[in-house]
Amino acid sequence: MSIGKNIIAKCCCGNRKDGCASECHLNKGDMASLAELAPGQGGIVTRTNRTLRAAQKFADIGMIKGARVLLEAYAPFGGLLRVRLLNSSMVLHSAEAQHIMVEVE
């Protein structure tokens, strides 16, 4: 399933949606990193790693505790992911997104 230019939806386990194992999906109220969400899943930011090099940049754009985020899609090889925050889409490196913890909605 293609979403946008060169971005393919895949599930949190790394498989494309049509081949996904159902046990990998997160449920409402689960705590997970932003990188673990499946496309279409959202959450509320509970904390970010302050030692992360981009922590101040994330705070400047609104990625703070209590902010709602939605994972829109993953890049084909998993290095990047597209998220929606404050009615804007942005691309993050998956390594950085692993340091952003969310409560799944």
- Any domain includes 18: no
Residue 42 lies in a domain: yes
7 found inside a domain: no
Q: Which domain holds residue 100?
A: 24-104
Domain membership flag for residue 65: yes
| Residue 72 belongs to a domain | yes
* CATH classification of the domain holding 58: 2.30.30.90
Contacts of 51 (CB under 8 A, 6+ apart): none
pLDDT tens, position by position, for the chain (105 residues)? 333 333 333 444 544 444 444 445 688 888 999 999 999 999 999 998 877 677 788 888 899 999 999 999 998 887 899 999 998 999 999 988 988 999 998
DSSP 35-63: GGSPTT-EEEEEEE-TTSTTHHHHHHTT-
Q: How many separate domains does the chain show?
A: 1
Residue 1 lies in a domain: no
**Is there a domain that residue 29 lies in?**
yes
Q: Note whether residue 4 is domain-resident.
A: no
